[in-house]
Amino acid sequence: MTIGIDTDRAISLRCYAGSPCSQPSTHVVLWNPPGQQYATTACEAHTERHMALVKNHQPYTIPVVDGTFTVLADHSGTQVANCRHCGHHIYLYPRLVDRDNRWRSGEYDETGRCPDGERRNGTVVHHEPATTVAERDRALGRTFCGRRLPHALTDCFVAPTARRIGTPDRALTAITWALAQNLPPYPKLLLVLVARHADPEGVYTRDVRHMQTGAGLNNAQVLRSLKILNARGLLLPDALGDEVCYRLPVEAYTA
């Protein structure tokens, strides 16, 4: 999925307490001014510095767990990772930090069990963070929902089925066919335009004006091109009722 990047790289969380700081975070620092709650993430050195800065507001720290790549923006200090079994976002709420099976798929998840992981393994599986880029990409590449873009289980839906590989897009086949014809430039341009706008049966119902603007040709160039295409049997005038149309030969639509 990633090219030219060291994919064994450990996933890390940046230090937001020092600005700028290139060290990875080791701690989430939480503090509570009256009636409020704040959290930031900090490397070793900045953890200490930040604790001193907010010392009057009951600061405390939570270790950053391997695999965490961000924290929620709600100041709760919730860590976010991708599950190495199912690829989905998983959350480590501060109150669960010392528990076993502490990662959750969302607020209402009480067990931390990984449905996709269980489906795949046939045993009880709990969400666990991917700790390297390679591990995360592997999980994202084989999600049951089929979506490679990281998302939470609560935002999960099955990805729309992609066109079956090996079934070429018909318009693309027609355009490729048009490009392969040995023709002078203007007729070839016109043929590509028609192939692009023809319906699945190869019928083009737009008019000469569309040909002009679409292919950037003047009227005389269009008419001359139509004559050449017609003579070679590549684009045949036809009619749908009293409407004039043009028809591509069937080869254009067969791969």
Binding to Zn ion, residues 129-148 (CB under 5 A): 145
- Residues 6 or more apart whose Cβ sits within 8 Å of residue 186: 215, 217, 221, 224, 225
Q: Does residue number 27 form part of the binding site for Zn ion (CB under 5 A)?
A: no
Cα–Cα distance measured from residue 86 to residue 129, given in angstroms and rounded to the nearest whole number: 10
Q: Which of 119, 127, 130, 59 is nearest to 93 (CA)?
A: 127
Q: Which residue has the tokens 């590509």?
A: 192
The mark string for 105-134 relative to Zn ion (x by CB under 5 A, - otherwise) is ---------x------------x-------
CA distance 106 to 30: 21
Selection from 150, 225, 238 nearest residue 188 by Cα: 225
Indicate which single residue of 11, 13, 80, 156 sits in contact with Zn ion (rule: CB under 5 A): 156
Strand partners, 113: 126
Interface positions, 206-225, toward Zn ion (CB under 5 A): none
Residue with tokens 């254009």: 252
86 is a site residue for Zn ion (CB under 5 A) = yes
- Residue 102: CB minimum distance to Zn ion, A: 13
CB of 28 to Zn ion, least distance (A): 13
With binding defined as CB under 5 A, does residue 46 bind Zn ion?
Answer: yes
In the list 7, 12, 18, 59, the residue contacting Zn ion (rule: CB under 5 A) is: 18
In 3D space, the residue among 15, 62, 65 whose CA is nearest the CA of residue 43 turns out to be 15
The residue within the footprint of Zn ion, chosen from 50, 85, 102, 136 (CB under 5 A), is 85
Shortest Å distance, C-beta 132 to Zn ion: 16
User: Considering only CA atoms, which of 81, 11, 23, 82 is closest in space to residue 48?
Assistant: 23
Taking CB under 5 A as the rule, does residue 80 contact Zn ion?
no
- Residues of this chain that bind Zn ion (CB under 5 A): 15, 18, 21, 23, 43, 46, 83, 85-86, 114, 127, 145, 156
